[in-house]
Amino acid sequence: MRKNLDKFMNKPGTKIVILTLTDSCNLACTYCYERNKAPNTMALETALNIVEKEMTMEDGSDFVCIYYFGGEPYLQFEEIKKIHSFLKSRQWPKGWFGFTTTNGTLVHGEVQQWLRDNASSMEVYVSLDGKREMHNKNRCDSYDKIDLDFFRKEYPFAKMTVTRETLPGLAEGVIELHEQGFEVSANLGYGIPWEENDPEILSEQLLRLIDYYMAHPQYKPATVLNLAIMDMAPEGEHLKRFCGVGPLMKSYDVDGQVYPCHAFAPLCLGKEKAEKAKSLDFTCPLTKDMLDEKCRNCPAVGVCPTCYGINFGASGNVYHINEDHCRMMKVQFLANALFKYKLYQAGRLSLTPEEELRLLRNIQAVQKLAQ
């Protein structure tokens, strides 16, 4: 369903360049990790210089994703238009496209028309946290300020964050978004202090979703039930990092300073920790001895969803996984393994014999998390 992203995301030559155009937002969502909002904006000249540098740099990349970031990026709509026009005005040695994640409240009128006109070079994700009441709990009663019909028709991709308050409605929220016409990226909020009974609630919700997907094969499963089970390497020593942070990801703050990703910038960490983050090395191979002791023998290590920036902000160690988050992830992996096995039994996976063997091996490895 996504028009552009799946064509090149995660390919070896794709570089992600994040432009933080503003530190401001017109909402104050309950789980927001950007704790240092301020009325700061990136100068247009700074943005254009960064774009020119990254589009012409000989760094092994052949495609660049330009992420217009905030705060709420559409507070800087005029700057987005000018940067995008600059990109379109030149013949670059690399391919490119632009994308944003938005709360949707400012995407009306002229913004909508511009997004229609630039659909071949833009991707937009709207933050929708499930049903109206779920969304409004998390996101400042903003549900009715979003033109759902526009996103459903033009950019039908919803980014759903689950909090303690909305966890009991996870399945219903995902199902409603699907039936409204959205592809769904759903994840547990990072940095949330989950409580003792939350893993049980999560398990119940994921089992409901599994039943729904088995009965409705027309829907692409939400990311909460689409973890990379096939990419696990339980016996491997050298691992992949979960996210794309590394040589081909750069995040530019409003002042033009560069950080490993936006979660390491002052907007999220504050100036002191963000300055320390500049010295982090994500070019070296990830090995088990770099991880928390509790992670080293986990079969899901390397594909377990985590945010290195939030980890660093909380503990000073990018690979330190919060215990609450770990408990919730174990439940999520067990549910994913069950779902994959049900799909396999139903003949809904197209696998080579080698892939089939790897899937069954990895499902068996995940089951150890229940012990």
Same domain flag for 159 and 204? yes
Same domain flag for 61 and 196? yes
> Is residue 249 one of the residues assigned to a domain?
no
pTM value is 0.93
> Is residue 273 one of the residues assigned to a domain?
no
Q: How confident is the model at residue 210 (pLDDT cuts 50, 70, 90)?
A: very high
Same domain flag for 211 and 235? no
What is the pLDDT, as a whole number, of residue 1?
A: 41
Higher pLDDT, 105 or 368: 105
> Is residue 258 one of the residues assigned to a domain?
no
What is the pLDDT, as a whole number, of residue 302?
A: 82
- Give the whole-angstrom CA distance, residue 355 versus residue 351: 5
What is the pLDDT, as a whole number, of residue 296?
A: 87
> Is residue 34 one of the residues assigned to a domain?
yes
Q: How confident is the model at residue 289 (pLDDT cuts 50, 70, 90)?
A: confident
Q: How many whole angstroms from its chain centre is CA 113?
A: 26
What is the mean predicted confidence (pLDDT) over 324-345?
Answer: 97
Same domain flag for 130 and 207? yes
The type of residue at 59 is D
Mean pLDDT of all residues belonging to the chain? 93
> Is residue 142 one of the residues assigned to a domain?
yes
What is the mean predicted confidence (pLDDT) over 328-355?
Answer: 97
> Is residue 29 one of the residues assigned to a domain?
yes
- List the one residue out of 225, 209, 159, 167 whose CA is nearest residue 192: 167
> Is residue 140 one of the residues assigned to a domain?
yes
Same domain flag for 176 and 231? no
Same domain flag for 234 and 343? yes
Same domain flag for 58 and 186? yes
Same domain flag for 87 and 234? no
- Give the whole-angstrom CA distance, residue 283 versus residue 276: 17
Q: How confident is the model at residue 242 (pLDDT cuts 50, 70, 90)?
A: confident
Whole-angstrom Cα Rg for the chain: 20
The answer, yes or no, to whether residue 94 has pLDDT greater than 80, is: yes
Highest mean pLDDT among 93-107, 233-247, 260-274: 93-107
Beta strands in the chain (DSSP E): 14-20, 63-69, 95-102, 122-127, 157-162, 183-188, 238-239, 249-252, 258-259, 286-287
Per the DSSP assignment, residues forming a β-bridge with 273 are: none
The answer, yes or no, to whether residue 113 has pLDDT greater than 60, is: yes
Same domain flag for 153 and 288? no
The answer, yes or no, to whether residue 224 has pLDDT greater than 50, is: yes
Q: How confident is the model at residue 144 (pLDDT cuts 50, 70, 90)?
A: very high
CATH number, domain of 207, equals: 3.20.20.70
Count of domains observed in the chain: 2
Same domain flag for 70 and 187? yes
Instruction: Output the CA torsion sign for 326, 237, 338, 306.
Output: positive
The answer, yes or no, to whether residue 5 has pLDDT greater than 70, is: no
Higher pLDDT, 281 or 182: 182
- Give the whole-angstrom CA distance, residue 201 versus residue 191: 18
> Is residue 38 one of the residues assigned to a domain?
yes
Range of the domain at 146: 5-217
The answer, yes or no, to whether residue 2 has pLDDT greater than 60, is: no
Same domain flag for 209 and 299? no
What is the pLDDT, as a whole number, of residue 4?
A: 55
Last residue of a domain, one of 199, 217, 235: 217
Same domain flag for 207 and 297? no
